[in-house]
Structure 1
Amino acid sequence: MIRNWSNKLAESIYSSSDRAYSVPVLAYGIQIVLSSLIKAALLLFIAWITSTFWTTLIAAFSFSVLRTFSGGVHCTTYGRCLGTSLLFFPFFGWLTIVSYPWYLKNEFVFFSLFFLYSLSVIWIWVPGKWDTKHLTHSDWTFKGRSVLLIFIIFSILYILPIESYTEVPVLLSVIMGWMFQLFTVTPAGYNTIGAIDKRFSKIFERRNIHA
């Protein structure tokens, strides 16, 4: 459906423009934008109705920023990626809220575990696989160092009293998104997301059979 919309919109832009656009390239770009907008709208809607809007938004943003440099497992289709996102991000938004009182009482222990976990994953598995992208050695080095730099900056900012100015558990939300993204570059993450992807595949196959 999104592909059809993208093709029609690309053809419309091509026919009404004086510039020589490549329709397939234009349609592909439109498809990416529409897919991202639909995913964001559905995710924020679910976060809103579950009263986890800000924690889900921050966790998803943290996840996305880190993913730009770290790579990681991907679902095989847009629909499965959408389903996985709608499954995990509101969950982490909710988990942030319910675990916040414990986090405040054990902040040093929590951050110590987070620090060791992040440093270990970054050192061993970052950057993760990039599907069909072929990264050069310099690309891998750049992305690995970028993730490490982001982690160091966040660790420094962690000591600042950010949450004293807001009622939203900002730092814990960031950590939730960060930990989930780092999980997706580990073997366990690939296995988990792969299993969910296959499960969604079976569900869609059953629906097609009964349709």
Structure 2
Amino acid sequence: MNGQMTVKGYSLHVIATAVGKWVSERSGQSHSATVLAYGADILFEALVKLVLLSIGSIMLGTTGIVAVVVFTASSFRLLTGGAHCTVYYRCLVSSLLIFLGLGSILQMTSPILLGWSEQVLLVPLVLSLYWIFRWAPVPPENKPLRNEKDRLARKRWAVALCLVVTAALYIAGTSRWWVWAVALGLSWQSFTLTPAGHTLLKGLDTLLTYPFLEGGEMKHEATDGSPR
């Protein structure tokens, strides 16, 4: 021991494991400790990400935009899956960088976008539809789809949802900021399905690899649409 504190000792996974064990003992269901720990792990990780995204968006003045982008991306990710980082802490940092970055970009460009025609709005929406039709779904490696029937069902639902959203946004028009925020969230999530999206997230995953984070991280797929 060199006397230094490690991230491993204070990781969310360690805390979640302790909480799961405590709850299982209190409830007399010791056999459920692993399941409870996993649930607590997912909850803690989601809460931390939500709090940090909220703080960051408030500081940048992009709260509404970031909320809509994240909600849209999360909703589609439940159906489509997509590229993701391999461990939570890299997922957290990459999510903050990407979603806060997208929110800031849309905030700066919204005065221009709000004056564009609906035909321009169709460009990212049609691209998203193609990407979803071409590559969705992309399940995590540790949770492959059971069969071809499940894969086709998820693809059909994702395509149908994309068509409905596209029609709704086109009808709503480009004069509303949230229309562009939804389009941005859909475009980003759809992009994570593509080979280019996988390359980008793999690069971020490698870039955010630090030795002092190893060991305390838990590998599993995000449930909120973040690039994990």
| TM-score, shorter chain, exceeding 0.5 | yes
CA distance in 2, matches of 1:33, 1:207: 20
Task: Among all aligned residue pairs of Structure 1 and Structure 2, give the percentage whose two residues are the same amino acid.
Answer: 26
Q: Match of 2:26?
A: 16
How is 1:90-109 mapped onto 2 (pairs within 5 angstroms)?
90-109=100-119
Q: Tell me which of 28, 53, 74 is aligned to 2:63.
A: 53
Task: Name the aligned partner's letter for residue 146 of structure 1.
Answer: W
The structure showing larger relative contact order (alpha-carbon pairs under 8 Å, at least 6 residues apart) is: 2
Q: 1:121 to 1:207 in 2, by over 3 A?
A: closer
Count of residues in correspondence between the two structures: 203
Q: Does 1:64 align with 2:74?
A: yes
Q: Match of 1:148?
A: 159
- C-alpha displacement of 1:108: 2.4
Q: Match of 1:178?
A: 186
CA distance in 2, matches of 1:15, 1:207: 30
Unaligned runs of 5+ in 2: 1-10, 215-228
Question: Could you list the runs of 4 or more consecutive aligned residues of structure 1 that deviate by over 3 angstroms after TM superposition?
Answer: 18-21, 159-164
- C-alpha displacement of 1:94: 1.2
Q: Does 1:76 align with 2:83?
A: no
Unaligned runs of 5+ in 1: none
CA distance in 2, matches of 1:207, 1:38: 17
CA distance in 2, matches of 1:154, 1:207: 39
Task: Name the aligned partner's letter for residue 33 of structure 2.
Answer: V
CA distance in 2, matches of 1:120, 1:157: 18
Q: Match of 1:205?
A: 211
- C-alpha displacement of 1:146: 0.9
Q: Match of 2:202?
A: 194
TM-score by length of 2: 0.82
Per-residue CA deviation, residues 9-55 of structure 1 (Å, 9 max, x unaligned), is: 11221222244551111111111111111111111110111101110
TM-score by length of 1: 0.89
